[in-house]
């Protein structure tokens, strides 16, 4: 079995694969100061909830955008499964990730995993919209190359900035308000934040289409994809498992051998 871990700034998503089937998936808050021992103590009960014996896990892969946790997770997994995990990167995505990009080593591990999975599942061209701490758009062109993308403040990040700087505005649930014209302060804020994000993503996608010279499927993923995908006119599919699937593919490509990130 394979354990895959997507470490984001706000949330960490874990999954366990048996062959190519995802048999367990968990989402937990990211704490940037956790030690390898604390991480190990969290993983064991999660595996137990799904009846997975740690002795049955023979490999692991990590995509991390938090450098301090990359090494902590690496040490935790080495103690858990007795071998080094594959660290996802453009370099390790052997044969799966081709980039027309000025500095490929700078491409975030989550972006690599998303692009790998999207190309494998949906073909090329394809665009990924990852709704997380940042809203990332990844662009794979008709030739199958990763040609770049967009990184913008995420929905919760934008909302938190508004709550912080506008002291009279309350913190709200980030949900579909149903109508654009707000009939209360909360309703008006939901419209501005949620619909604003949806329209911003659609605007980005239309700009990407214009630069590519053709349209492409648009796949939503990330913690807020369930909320946002139905509100974006350009999104054609939603796949909450996309990053984990990319990690599985990168692990297989790297043949379980840890390379330098």
Count of beta carbons in the 10 Å neighbourhood of residue 45: 9
Task: Yes or no: say if 30 and 8 are a contact pair by the CB < 8 Å rule.
Answer: yes
Active site residue 237: no
Q: Which residue in 55, 208, 200 sits closest to 146, CA to CA?
A: 208
- Provide, for the chain, the percentages of residues in helix, strand and coil under a 3-state DSSP scheme, each rounded to the nearest 5: 40, 25, 35
Exactly one of 6, 37, 110, 237 is catalytic; name it. Answer: 110
Q: What interhelical angle do 109-122 and 242-254 show, nearest 10?
A: 90
Residue 122: strand, helix, or coil: helix
Reading across the β-sheet that carries 11-18, which strands appear in turn? 21-29, 11-18, 2-7, 59-64, 86-87
Active site residues: 110
């Amino acid at each position: 079995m394979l354990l895959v871990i997507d470490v984001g700034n706000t949330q960490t998503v874990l999954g366990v694969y048996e062959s190519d089937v995802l048999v367990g998936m968990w989402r937990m808050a990211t704490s940037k100061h956790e030690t390898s021992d604390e991480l190990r103590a969290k993983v064991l009960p999660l595996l137990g909830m799904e009846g997975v014996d740690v002795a049955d896990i023979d490999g692991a892969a990590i995509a991390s955008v938090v450098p301090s946790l990359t090494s902590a997770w690496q040490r935790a997994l080495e103690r858990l499964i007795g071998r080094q995990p594959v660290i996802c990167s453009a370099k390790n995505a052997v044969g799966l990730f081709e980039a027309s990009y000025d500095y490929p080593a700078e491409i975030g591990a989550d972006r690599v995993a998303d692009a790998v999975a999207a190309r494998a599942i949906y073909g090329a061209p394809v665009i990924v919209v990852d709704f997380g701490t940042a809203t990332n758009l990844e662009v794979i062109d008709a030739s199958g190359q990763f040609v770049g993308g967009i990184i913008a403040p995420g929905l919760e990040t934008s909302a938190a900035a508004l709550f912080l700087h506008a002291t009279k505005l309350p913190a709200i649930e980030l949900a579909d308000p149903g109508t654009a014209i707000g009939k209360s302060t909360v309703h008006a804020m939901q419209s501005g934040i949620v619909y604003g994000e949806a329209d911003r993503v659609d605007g980005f996608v239309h700009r990407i289409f214009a630069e590519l010279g053709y349209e492409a499927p648009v796949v939503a993923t990330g913690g807020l994809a369930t909320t946002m995908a139905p509100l974006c006119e350009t999104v054609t599919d939603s796949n909450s498992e996309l990053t984990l699937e990319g990690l599985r593919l990168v692990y297989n490509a790297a043949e379980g051998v840890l390379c330098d990130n």
